[in-house]
Amino acid sequence: MKLPIAIEELILYLLPIFLLWGLGKLIHKGLLVLKWNLKAPDLLVPFLFVGIHILSRLSFSQSWLPYFTIFILAIGIVILMMLAVKKGEILYSQFFKLFWRFTFISSFILYYVLVVINLVKTFI
């Protein structure tokens, strides 16, 4: 019996959730939280970028990564200007934390939008 989804694709679809959970456990065991104030989403962003590239190539035969990078950088400029207007100064530690967390959220959402698109293309 042939499955409509390959095992490799299923692993690609579920890996960010398992990495999020596993990296969270690893960070707390390694006490990286106390030393560098790292969280699991901070380490997951590079994987999500690679996953966005792979999934967009599978679904559309074109990578969405350059467009997503331009979107993220444009949002970074908007965040920077909003912080400068609101606070009257630019606090880089606050900006980078806010920017990196926004990058995680938007890349996680885009990753799973691409997963849904790829599943729809597989079954239709």
pLDDT of residue 20: 79
Give me the mean pLDDT over the 17-25 stretch: 78
The pLDDT tens digits for 65-78 are 999 999 999 999 99
Give me the mean pLDDT over the 30-38 stretch: 61
| pTM (2 d.p.) | 0.84
The rounded percent of the chain whose pLDDT value lies above 70 is 88
pLDDT of residue 2: 57
Which residue, 114, 111, 104, 38, is CA-closest to 72? 104
pLDDT of residue 115: 92
Confidence class for position 3, pLDDT limits 50, 70, 90: low
Per-residue burial over 85-118, b if 16 or more Cβ lie within 10 Å, else e, is eeeeeeeeeebeebbeeebbebbbebbbebbeeb
Give me the mean pLDDT over the 30-54 stretch: 79
